[in-house]
Amino acid sequence: MTEAWFSAKRQVHRARIILDDPAAGLSCEVHNGSRAGATLRVNRAADVPTTFDLEMQPGETLSCRVVRRSRIDLSVRFQPG
């Protein structure tokens, strides 16, 4: 499924940011996805830690590191998992 996300760059996809407490994950939108990273839109980017897992679909996660942060957007790089 992840391959399809990368090939459809202009589409917006829903995903979930996994926090220390998995029940407290944050919903987000994935924009401009590539094999290297993506832009994530969240309600409060300041609440997201520098490193986290991104659940693209149930059971499929990517490790992320924030490289740029604004009020509602995060630019992330995917990390080797």
**How does pLDDT run across 42-51, given as a tens digit for each residue?**
998 999 999 9
pTM, rounded to two decimals: 0.83
**pLDDT at site 11:** 76
Check residues 3 and 56 and name the one with the higher pLDDT: 56
Dist CA 43 CA 73 (whole Å):
8
Write the CATH number for 36: 2.40.10.220
The per-residue pLDDT for 39 is 96
Asked if 18 and 55 touch (Cβ cutoff 8 Å), the reply is: yes
CB proximity list for 13: less than 8 A, separation 6 or greater: 5, 29, 30, 33, 56
Q: In terms of residue numbers, what domain contains 44?
A: 2-79
Q: Is the pLDDT of residue 61 over 60?
A: yes
Q: Return the structure tokens found at 75.
A: 């630019």
Task: Tell me the pLDDT tens digit for each residue of 1-40.
Answer: 455 555 555 678 999 999 888 777 899 999 988 889 999 9
Q: For the chain, what is the domain count?
A: 1
Beta bridge partners of 77: 37, 65
Minimal CA–CA distance to 20: which of 46, 44, 51? 51
On whether the CB atoms of residues 36 and 55 are closer than 8 A, the answer is no
